Amino acid sequence: MPMPVAKQIGWDLGGVHVKAALVEAGRVVAASQVPCPLWQGVAALDGSLAALPDWARGEARHAVTMTGELTDCFADRREGVAALSNWAGKHLSGRVRIYAGRSGLVAPEAAADLFADVASANWHATAALAGRHAPDALLVDIGSTTADLIPIVGGRPAAAGYSDAERLETGELVYTGIVRTPVIALAHDAPFKGRRTRLMTETFAHMADVYRILGLLPEGADQQASGDRKGKSIPESETRLARIVGRDRGEGTPEAWALLAAHFAEAQLRLLHDAAATLLSRPDLPTDAPLIVCGAGAFLGPRLAERLGRPARLLVDLLRERVAGEPDWISTCGPAVAVGLIASEDTFA
């Protein structure tokens, strides 16, 4: 194995967040996530870069993966890949490479011609890293917006799809997350006060409200505005959730709102269960293949694994020897960590 690069920063440029991970001498020493309203234009990345810790703006070698190319400020993915790659090449201090998944690391100016490999390939980086530690497994990366379920066979990503469109078809991309998913995306009706009620098809409440009410939302996971642009206390989340069933918060008790929240949490877990069960039925995955869990929603991993009768292993535990200090943000910043570690072992030829 090549000697690791002395200082490497891995990046994940998303349409809602920017994630960065600092790798020194082959070990992750820091990671951070900040909001990025990329739909407002590429200039939003400047503000995100400024909001990151000082080390993110320092001289280093950089490896960049992305999902932000699908943001609606771009006409198509090729334009998005070109814009994000150009931004990285101009604003990151030091040599920059773009992660092109199955095509490896490429120069920023070459990324547009390989846009189909570059676009939303962050899942590939995480799976490639996980495969070095768990040769046969199902990677389950549950984020704020989406979940990636990637079979790993023989130590390599073995997804049947590659693009977002293909992975939506194969069930390897499940468009649900623990923060930004509107609760109405998960159910048409819900139980409340002994009756089954239809829901208001409005984006009043999101899954961040659900997991906040249930006391499960990780600290710092919810970095976007709430549905009503108000606060993020439990009572305010209860108010938003109440509107989904046409109620005011005062028409229910905290216990009633927790029961309603639990209904939506169950609906989301069932969605992930069905996708994972299908993928685990592949004949090339052993019957004891574990779930490798990461992302802001990693707390769902043990429950999901129990349903599936599989062991669950946290990616941060697999990487324990490659992480310096406490693994804060390591799980949430999985793709940035992955490209940082992968690139630190690359010669950058």
- Tens-level pLDDT at each residue, the chain (349 residues): 455 557 999 999 999 999 999 999 999 999 999 999 999 999 999 999 999 999 999 999 999 999 999 999 999 999 999 999 999 999 999 999 999 999 999 999 999 999 999 999 999 999 999 999 999 999 999 999 999 999 999 999 999 999 999 999 999 999 999 999 999 999 999 999 999 999 999 999 999 999 999 999 998 888 888 999 999 999 999 999 999 999 999 999 999 999 999 999 999 999 999 999 999 999 999 999 999 999 999 999 999 999 999 999 999 999 988 888 666 568 889 999 999 999 998 643 3
Instruction: Give the tokens for residue 314.
Output: 């946290």
How is the beta sheet containing 17-24 ordered, strand by strand?
27-35, 17-24, 7-13, 61-66, 96-99, 105-106
pLDDT for 347: 44
For β-strands 147-153 and 137-142, DSSP reports them as antiparallel
pLDDT at 144: 93
Strand 105-106 relative to strand 96-99, pairing? antiparallel
Q: Residue 193: name the closest of 230, 245, 145 by CA.
A: 245
Distance linking the first and last C-alpha atoms of the chain: 15
pLDDT at 327: 66
Torsion angles phi and psi, residue 129, rounded to 5: -70, -45
Provide the pLDDT for residue 219: 87
Q: Are 178 and 160 in contact (CB under 8 A)?
A: no
Q: How far apart are CA 30 and CA 27, in angstroms?
A: 9
Angstrom distance (rounded) from CA 119 to CA 57: 24
Q: Specify the amino acid at residue 180.
A: R
Contacts with 38 (C-beta within 8 Å, 6 or more apart), sequence order: 13, 14, 15, 16, 44, 45, 68, 71, 73
Pairing of strands 156-157, 147-153: antiparallel
Nearest Cα to 237, choosing from 265, 196, 268?
265
Residue type, 343: A
